[in-house]
Amino acid sequence: MSKPFTIVVCTYNGSRFISLVIEALLKQNNLHELVHEIMIVDNKSTDNTKDIILEHSLKHPLINYCFEEKQGLSNARRHASKAQTDWVIFVDDDNLLQCDWLIELQRTIEENPNAGVINGAVIACCIDELTNEELHCLHAMYHNLACTHLKEEDIKGSKPNLIPMGAGMCVKVEALKVIDKEGWLVLTGRTKNSLSSGEDTELSNRVFAQGYKYVCNYNMRLKHIIPASRLSSEYMTRLIIGLTNGRYDFISNNRMFIISRFLRCIKYIAMIVYMKHIFKKSKVDSIEAFSAKYNILSAKTFISRTKNDLLIGRN
């Protein structure tokens, strides 16, 4: 029987954690029975990421190094359309999969024949000692940092995620090949200078347009490494602006974008009024204050872009 999975790790300057990511993949139960290839796509790194990957590839034949000149996460992910397996597993360069992850994925596929996109639980993993301010920021913003849960014990009893996310996203290769043939994604995702996003949603929606369904199984668990640097005010501001710009660009590529923009602006205006009230009542470094602050930033960013486009433009 042919092996069902190709693992694709897209990385940009990921030298700090890439070895940990690779080691977690190599510890997967039934790895050699289930995985045809671990494809690591270097999205034009400027550090020693390439050297680290090549060192691992010499020891482990499953690992193949690829280079993508054009920056942007979706450009790196396009390499997955070349996979020779039924499924591609997208793993970020700061994701650590638990050892039974692949077995749980295989079971999920067998139980859901119409699935086209599958996710599991993404648990925040802080490797640095955090200040109280950073800790409060993490508690307020972990969903924006691509995590479903703060701690593993939070998983029990929680409702399955309804929105696909890039970390640990599993996609039917047949659907990817159709997308590649029709024309790859419009949104590029994160680059050296931008934390824009939305490419995960675009990819998923194009898979669903082919008739496939979304499945979430929290028994598939991975840890998402979050260093203290990603909890700084400067990084979080860039992240929220990037996420909002990605959302705006995604909406702008839809046929009914004018109505969608207008309705979202109305929602955001109401949010700003409410969040300002919450912010005034909260302590400056509290979880509530962080949540209110960045919700206001997101709302203002979206409204500002809508104004600049005079509602109907697509700049």
Count: domains in the chain: 2
Q: What is the pLDDT of residue 3?
A: 96
Question: What pairs with residue 41 in β-bridges?
Answer: 10, 66
Run of H or E residues at 39: strand 35-42
- Of 231, 263, 280, which residue constitutes the final position of a domain? 231
- Of 231, 246, 272, which residue constitutes the final position of a domain? 231
Using CA atoms, how far apart are residues 248 and 105, in angstroms rounded to an integer? 32
Closest CA to 102 of 32, 39, 157: 32
Residue with tokens 């997101």: 298
Does some domain include residue 240? no
Question: Residue 149 corresponds to which tokens in the numbers above?
Answer: 């849960």
Cβ-count burial of 193 within 10 angstroms (0-12 exposed, 13-18 middle, 19+ buried)? exposed
The model carries a pTM of 0.92
**Could you tell me the residue range of the domain that residue 200 belongs to?**
5-231
Shared domain for 65 and 206, answered yes or no, is yes
Phi, psi of 144 (to 5 degrees): -70, -20
Q: Is 45 within 8 Å of 75 (Cβ atoms)?
A: no
Does some domain include residue 247? no
Shared domain for 225 and 116, answered yes or no, is yes
Convert the pLDDT of each residue in 211-238 to its tens digit: 999 999 999 999 999 999 999 999 999 9
Using CA atoms, how far apart are residues 199 and 205, in angstroms rounded to an integer? 10
- Across the chain, which has 315 residues, the per-10-residue mean pLDDT values are 92 97 98 98 96 97 96 94 97 97 98 98 95 94 95 94 93 97 87 74 95 98 97 94 91 91 97 95 90 96 95 82
Does some domain include residue 120? yes
